[in-house]
Amino acid sequence: MVNGAIFAANNVEKALGRGYEGLCSKVTEIFDVMKKMWGPEYIDAVIEKEKLSDMVNSSALENRIYALQRIVLKEDTYVDDPIYVLDKIEKKLANIIAKKQIESKLQKEVEKILDEKQDKLLDELRLSILKKQRGPENSKTFKKLANLQKMDTIKLSKSIMEHLRPSTIEEIIGQKNAIAAILSKLASPYPQHIILYGPPGVGKTTTARLALSLAKSLKASPFNDDAAFIETDGTTLRWDKGDATNPLIGSVHDPIYQGSKKDLAEMGIPEPKTGLVTDAHGGVLFIDEIGEIDPILQNKLLKVLEDKRVDFSSSYYDPDDENVPAYIKKLFNEGAPADFILIGATTRQPKDINPALRSRCAEVFFEPLTKKDVEAIVLNAAKKLKITMDALVPKLISEYTIEGRKAVSILADVYGNVIYKKGLKNIHLTTEDVYEVAALSRLVPFNKQINTEDVVVGKVNGLGVSGFLGSILEIEAVAFKREKEGGKGSGTIRFNDTAGSMTKDSVFNAASVIRMVTGIEISDFDVHVNVVGGGNVDGPSAGAAITIAVLSAVTKKPIKQNIAITGEISLLGHIKPVGGIIEKIYGAVQVGITKIIIPYENKKDVPCNISDIEIIAVRNINQILDIVF
């Protein structure tokens, strides 16, 4: 038994000795592998840096394992299980070796591809170097650039319309009140947004541009000397409802679809593009035909007017990306400044403009031009052209238009035609020259002049409005006493349907008023009422004129033709107020009317600068009868 126990103990001791020797060998092998992988110099440098020399050279196995643990695993813990630690070290080295083998394999593959495509890659490299040396140009691009530069040297001078455009506030004719209103709204320390209403060609755009220049010189004005005047047209503003592009408000060009700058696109950085509202910051944004802007775009514009900034957003924007330039971060985080004054111009009526936009803007109305205004514009243009002309030329041109721009255009046509025929010396325009151009351009007089000396039975001049322009409505009536085929009380009333349903109502109202005022029964007559030209009367304002025309036809009393009448008539004979008084007055002046009868309640609507016509305000039909007959 004793000998057996001794033998067993000896065997255990031998086994432990072999295990310890095996661990020592494994540690030595690991050190050898590490030196092969990283080189003995690197391993020695690490040992020295970590101050592990004593541990590595120690005769104690646990010290050497601890050194390996520090070098390979980067761990500084007590080694209580040498076998476990060595296993971890072996696995870590195995992963490193595997990674190196894969990298080596990939490197071989790359070298193989390089060997196969070496010539092609070298050619591409050579081309790239040549392009960098030469720049982006080649023979074709140089030729196109030279062509553009040659075109830039060819100047036809500025257009005649640009030359004749008013260059000072004083040159704008017929808009004294509108100019004063605009300046008062821009000269304040707190300038207002403005909408300009008026017919085309009366100077809305020019007034807005010159008003800003004048406002800059005023002490109370907040505009700096470098305040911008940005001009655009509502009819040409196009935008993408997904905000991929928006020239008015601004948009974000993402690096995939729209394509930002090359250096930004390569890093996947979106680029905000500011719009006209930012370009106008600190100045004026003028939008001609503002009523034509898309309703959704108008709402976006309203948001900018409220916030005075434009916000940008993009799913591609990463605020933590260090590659994003500072200006892009600022635009995304704070938005772009857009503190400007909006001036919009339109030929539409106020009711046709977005109510939310109107509520944020002061409204200024430009008046239609009179014949004298058009004549003054022609005379100013002639001075700029340094030409002479017959005294009747301005008046003759004013017969063909009531627009200042059109009048200047006609003068320019006559000027060009005279130069073509006679040359540049001693240019003089005659009435015959104007008639010749009118015939070539197929111009017709804008308004037919009325013979105001006439007195006519059954014919009266009414007044209508189309947009911002007034016009004369020639209203005729004839009446035949009903003596046969039914006798009294069987008369009929006829009228042209194209005049509209309001005209029919006015005729029936006229019949009742005439019976009340004169005792004449209209049903004893066959009455026919006509609006010459088939004009559509879309309101009740012709009621008083129709009543006078019918009464004249029935009583055979002639009506003075220098008079025009507007106003709704009630069944009791009262003259009720109507709209468009200013436009109607200007329309009457154009055709030579010298006296206008309007409702008394419209007296406050008469412009204070009217001098070429007599305005008479009446309350009832009896007052009109005393004037027209």
C-alpha 472: how far from its chain's center?
A: 37
- For the cut 90, the answer to whether the pLDDT of residue 599 exceeds it is yes
- pLDDT higher than threshold 80 for residue 13: no
Rounded to 10 degrees, the C-alpha dihedral 582/586/592/598 comes to -10
185-208 pLDDT, tens digit per residue, is: 988 889 999 999 998 888 898 998
Phi, psi of 101, rounded to the nearest 5 degrees: -65, -40
**Mean pLDDT, range 357-383, rounded to an integer:** 91
- Quote the pLDDT of residue 48: 84
* Mean pLDDT, rounded, for 439-455: 84
The pair of structure tokens assigned to 461 is 């001049």
| Residue 50 pLDDT | 83
Residue 98: pLDDT band (50, 70, 90) is confident
The reported pLDDT for the residue numbered 379 is: 93
**C-alpha atoms less than 13 angstroms from C-alpha of 484 in its C-beta half-sphere:** 0
pLDDT of residue 132: 66
Above 80 in pLDDT, residue 242?
Answer: no
The whole-number pLDDT of residue 263 equals 61
pLDDT at res. 76: 79
- Of residues 466 and 525, more confidently modeled: 525
Q: Residue 408 has what pLDDT?
A: 92
- Which residues are tagged catalytic? 541, 584
What amino acid occupies position 75?
E
Question: What pLDDT score was predicted for residue 484?
Answer: 64
Give the pLDDT mean for 594-603. 93
pLDDT single digits (tens) 144-185: 878 888 888 877 666 777 788 888 888 899 888 899 999 999
Confirm if 498 and 536 have CB atoms less than 8 A apart: yes
Model confidence pLDDT, tens digit, residues 322-358: 888 888 899 999 999 999 999 999 988 898 899 999 9
582-598 average pLDDT score: 89
Helices (H), 156-289: 160-164, 176-186, 204-216, 262-265, 276-279
Residues 105-127, mean pLDDT to the nearest whole number: 76
C-alpha 182/C-alpha 197 separation (Å) is 12
What mean pLDDT value characterizes the chain?
84
